[in-house]
Structure 1
Amino acid sequence: MSSTLTVTAKGQVTLRKDVLRHLGIQPGEKITVEKLPDGRVEVKAARPTGHISDIFGFFKNEEGISLSIDDMNQVIADGWAGKR
């Protein structure tokens, strides 16, 4: 199924909600556009490229010591209370 889009005077194109839904894109997320031969483009949802292991250093204090579950719960509670 194809869709026809209009290019604005600024050279911008707005993707319709059904197209965004098909791509799995939510407001604020990014897309990638790859230029292909013959004037074609490929539009895809930009997916994070990090590794799950990147999160391991996230739950450490300033000294590099891993936080306990109680410490993590306190950080979460402070965040909800607007203290961070």
Structure 2
Amino acid sequence: MSATVTIKGQVTIPKSVRDHLGIVPGSRVDFRRTADGQIVIEPAEAKPSSRFSQLKGHAGEGMATEDIMALTRGEP
């Protein structure tokens, strides 16, 4: 497989490679060099979610204010 590099240094990853790696629009990828000098592309590891990610977009139906405050403070 081959791809052409644009003037901006961009390359379209072939669909078969994207499908194999599970890469979708918005995915992040890592490039790393192996011991023998080859370059490998792989999906980037997801960042650990924060305690706030559960609240993104809404406070959650049925959650009391005290529960929300405890969650944002990291209290059990």
Distance in 1 between residues matched to 2:52 and 2:40, nearest whole Å: 34
Q: Show the counterpart of 2:43.
A: 45
Distance in 1 between residues matched to 2:53 and 2:9, nearest whole Å: 42
**TM-score, structure 1 as length reference:** 0.52
Q: Does 1:35 align with 2:61?
A: no
Give 1 or 2 for the bigger CA radius of gyration.
1
Percent identical pairs in the alignment equals 33
TM superposition shift of 1:71: 2.9
Q: Could you say what the CA RMSD is over the residues aligned between the two structures, in angstroms?
A: 3.0
- Which structure's residues are more often helix, by fraction? 1
Q: Secondary structure at the match of 1:33?
A: strand
Structure 1 stretch displaced more, 37-46 or 19-28: 37-46
Unaligned runs of 5+ in 2: 65-76
Q: Show the counterpart of 2:24.
A: 26
Structure 2: which amino acid aligns with 1:34?
A: R
Query: What is the number of residues matched between the two proteins?
Result: 61
Larger RCO: 1 or 2 (CA < 8 Å, sep 6+): 2
Distance in 1 between residues matched to 2:12 and 2:29, nearest whole Å: 12
TM superposition shift of 1:47: 1.9
Unaligned runs of 5+ in 1: 60-66, 73-84
Mapping of residues 3-82 of structure 1, within 5 Å = 3-36=1-34, 39-50=37-48, 54-55=50-51, 58-59=54-55, 70-71=62-63
